[in-house]
Amino acid sequence: MFIIIGFGIVLASVIGGYLMEKGNLYVLLQPAELLIIGGAATGALLISSPPRILGLVMRNIVSILSSKSRNKNNYLELLSLLYKLFAKIRKDGLIAIEADIENPSQSPVFSQYRSILSHHSVLNFICDNFKVIISANIPSHELDSLTDLEIETTHREAMIPANSMSRMADGLPGLGIVAAVLGVVLTMGKIDQTPAVLGHSVGAALVGTFLGVLLCYGFVGPLAANLEHKANEDATYFQVIKVGLVSFVGGAAPQMAVEFARRAIPETQKPTFDELEQTVRGQAR
Count other Cβ atoms within 10 Å, centred on residue 146.
18
Using an 8 Å Cβ cutoff, are 235 and 265 in contact? no
Using an 8 Å Cβ cutoff, are 70 and 269 in contact? yes
* Residue 285: per-residue pLDDT: 53
d(CA 238, CA 121): 9
What are 169-226's pLDDT values in tens digits? 999 999 999 999 988 888 888 888 888 778 878 888 889 899 999 999 999 999 999 9
Break the chain into its structural domains and give their ranges: 30-284
- Nearest CA among 96, 89, 79 for reference residue 257: 79
Distances (CA, A) of 171 to 55, 176, 177, 229: 21, 9, 10, 21
Binned at pLDDT 50, 70 and 90, residue 167 comes out as very high
Query: Which amino acid is residue 51, in one-letter code?
Result: P
Count other Cβ atoms within 10 Å, centred on residue 105.
8
Count Cβ neighbours within 10 Å for each residue of 84-103 and write b for 16 or more, e otherwise: bbbbbbeeeeeeebeebbee
Using an 8 Å Cβ cutoff, are 41 and 233 in contact? no
- Nearest CA among 57, 20, 279, 239 for reference residue 12: 20
Is residue 251 left, alpha or beta, with left meaning phi > 0 and alpha meaning psi from -120 to 50?
left
What are 246-268's pLDDT values in tens digits? 999 999 999 999 999 999 999 99
Distances (CA, A) of 232 to 59, 226, 274: 17, 10, 27
What are 104-146's pLDDT values in tens digits? 988 999 988 888 988 889 999 999 999 999 888 889 999 999 9
pTM: 0.86
- Is the predicted pLDDT of residue 67 greater than 80, yes or no? no
Using an 8 Å Cβ cutoff, are 185 and 133 in contact? no
How far is the first Cα of the chain from the last one, in angstroms, to the nearest whole number?
A: 40
CA 103, chain centre distance (Å): 28
Q: At what angle do helices 221-249 and 254-263 cross, to 10 degrees?
A: 150
DSSP for residue 113:
-
- Is the predicted pLDDT of residue 150 greater than 90, yes or no? yes
- Is the predicted pLDDT of residue 283 greater than 80, yes or no? no
What are 28-47's pLDDT values in tens digits? 888 888 999 999 999 999 99
Task: Summarize the confidence of residues 229-242 as an average pLDDT.
Answer: 94
Helices (H) and strands (E) in the chain, counts: 13, 0
For the chain, the helix, strand and coil percentages under 3-state DSSP, each to the nearest 5: 85, 0, 15
SS3 126: helix
Task: Summarize the confidence of residues 74-95 as an average pLDDT.
Answer: 92
